[in-house]
Amino acid sequence: MKTILTGIRSNSVLTLGNYLGALLPMVRLANEHSKDFKVNIFVPDLHSIISEVDGDLRENTIRTLKYWLAAGLNLNENVHIYRQSYVPAHSELCWILNCTATMGETSRMIQYKEKSKGQESCNVGIFDYPILMAADILLYDAEYIPLGEDQFQHIELTRNIAMRFNNKFGEVFTVPVKTSDQVKFMEVDTAIRIRDLLNPEKKMSKSTVAEGSKIMLDDTPEKAAKKIMSATTDSLGKVKFDMFNQPGISNLLQIEALVTDVPLSEVTAKWNGETRYGELKKKVAESVSSMLKDFQTRLAEISDDEVYKLLEEGEKYANELANAKLLEVQKAVGLR
Ligand code: TRP
């Protein structure tokens, strides 16, 4: 059975953009394939500490796992959840891979360049981030790693590291599929980017200071509705899906489609030509607030105990697999 593996960092509460653009598509993919694939969902908590964490990391981690469950992740014997730092083989393999990766290829990573830009002293973890990520993937022979476009470069790096290792030490790792084929497998438009409500040219981001720019998953439904009603639109006065000329309106159509699970083409056809933007906003505000209400109700029903129980099972499973692969690697390089 092939493996699908993915993770979301838990540095803070997620935005509606993270939910609609990342979490929900991943949950759908996992549910769709949970009979014919192994599905590993984990929280990369070691990746979290490369930068400041809002609040308590352990609590954030449990909350992020609850998000997965509240978003509808179906668990069965093929689907497992775990925390990266509870599987020490991740760090151990990271070190071994460090000794095969080059400064050149790691320095080329866009995320590293962006995160280190303007920092007087950038921590080594920011630089090493993709190598730990490669370890996360290669330990489980994962072939499919559903992620957004901004992470594609890391997947390509993982492939290169795996191929180089296999050439030198023998066939130890399964090489993940190319990002172009990952996209086909996901069957979702990875270009989906929920935009900032006030500045729709930009992506909705949790780090934006202006409250009205973003909807957080813990916003009350009323607050979220107000933010939609105050979203920036344009002065063209006619609804059309056109991200370039009408990014605000297009963003609202996109949100409506994702929140109500109706194809974008249908939503667009329905609203096309509408001249009263207020009507569209009202509908989207209702859809978003009712989605949030349902989501928050489901979230409140999941207890910490339930999550810890799933983690106990998931981490036992993950440690068994990861330790077996690590031993193979240690033997290949001559440590065992
Ligand atoms: N880099 C991913 C992100 O920022 C998180 C992550 C870390 C990850 N390791 C991973 C995702 C391994 C998939 C597989 O979203």
In this structure, the answer to whether residues 69 and 157 fall within a common structural domain is yes
What ligand 1 atom has the least distance to the C-alpha of 142? Answer: 14
Q: Which pTM does this prediction carry?
A: 0.93
In this structure, the answer to whether residues 252 and 320 fall within a common structural domain is no
Position 236 scores a pLDDT of 96
Position 149 scores a pLDDT of 85
- Asked, for residue 206, whether it belongs to a domain, the answer is no
Terminal Cα distance for the chain, rounded? 28
CA of 281 to the centre of ligand 1 (A): 34
Q: Is the pLDDT of residue 186 over 90?
A: no
In this structure, the answer to whether residues 178 and 315 fall within a common structural domain is yes
What ligand 1 atom has the least distance to the C-alpha of 7? Answer: 11
What is the mean pLDDT of the segment spanning 113-140? 94
Kindly indicate the confidence band of residue 188, based on its pLDDT and cuts at 50, 70 and 90. low
CATH number for the domain that contains residue 231: 1.10.240.10
What is the mean pLDDT of the segment spanning 19-46? 94
CATH number for the domain that contains residue 18: 3.40.50.620
In this structure, the answer to whether residues 175 and 233 fall within a common structural domain is no
Q: Is the pLDDT of residue 120 over 90?
A: no
What is the mean pLDDT of the segment spanning 72-87? 96
> In this structure, which residue's CA is closest to atom 9 in ligand 1?
133
Kindly indicate the confidence band of residue 191, based on its pLDDT and cuts at 50, 70 and 90. low
In this structure, the answer to whether residues 121 and 51 fall within a common structural domain is yes
In this structure, the answer to whether residues 126 and 37 fall within a common structural domain is yes
Position 189 scores a pLDDT of 60
The pLDDT tens digits of the residues spanning 251-274 come to 999 999 999 999 999 999 999 999
Position 148 scores a pLDDT of 84
Position 207 scores a pLDDT of 87
Q: Is the pLDDT of residue 190 over 80?
A: no
Q: Is the CB of 145 under 6 A from ligand 1?
A: yes
DSSP per-residue codes, 232-245? ---SS-S----TTT
| Residue 32 token pair | 């769709």
Position 221 scores a pLDDT of 98
- Asked, for residue 80, whether it belongs to a domain, the answer is yes
pLDDT averaged over every residue in the chain: 95
What is the mean pLDDT of the segment spanning 106-130? 93
- Asked, for residue 117, whether it belongs to a domain, the answer is yes
- Asked, for residue 196, whether it belongs to a domain, the answer is no
> What is the best residue among 147, 182, 206 to mutate for testing ligand 1's pocket, by most ligand atoms within 8 Å of CB?
147
Q: Is the CB of 5 under 6 A from ligand 1?
A: yes
In this structure, the answer to whether residues 181 and 278 fall within a common structural domain is no
Q: Is the CB of 137 under 6 A from ligand 1?
A: yes
- Sign of the torsion formed by the C-alpha atoms of 249, 254, 260 and 265: positive
- Asked, for residue 197, whether it belongs to a domain, the answer is no
In this structure, the answer to whether residues 181 and 142 fall within a common structural domain is yes
Kindly indicate the confidence band of residue 118, based on its pLDDT and cuts at 50, 70 and 90. confident
- Asked, for residue 221, whether it belongs to a domain, the answer is yes
- Asked, for residue 170, whether it belongs to a domain, the answer is yes
Domain count of the fold of the chain:
2
Backbone angles phi, psi at 239, to 5 degrees: -70, 130
- Tell me what percent of the residues of the chain surpass a pLDDT of 90: 89
- Asked, for residue 198, whether it belongs to a domain, the answer is no
In this structure, the answer to whether residues 159 and 83 fall within a common structural domain is yes
Q: Is the CB of 7 under 6 A from ligand 1?
A: yes
Enclosing domain of residue 218: 211-299
In this structure, the answer to whether residues 130 and 39 fall within a common structural domain is yes
- Tell me what percent of the residues of the chain surpass a pLDDT of 70: 99
In this structure, the answer to whether residues 124 and 242 fall within a common structural domain is no
Position 181 scores a pLDDT of 92
Task: Report how far residue 90's alpha carbon sits from residue 88's, in angstroms, rounded to the nearest whole number.
Answer: 5
Let me know if 26 is exposed, middle or buried by CB neighbors in 10 A (0-12, 13-18, 19+): buried
In this structure, the answer to whether residues 240 and 294 fall within a common structural domain is yes
The residues annotated with a catalytic role in the active site are 115, 203, 206
CA of 146 to the centre of ligand 1 (A): 9
Q: Is the pLDDT of residue 167 over 90?
A: yes
CA of 72 to the centre of ligand 1 (A): 20
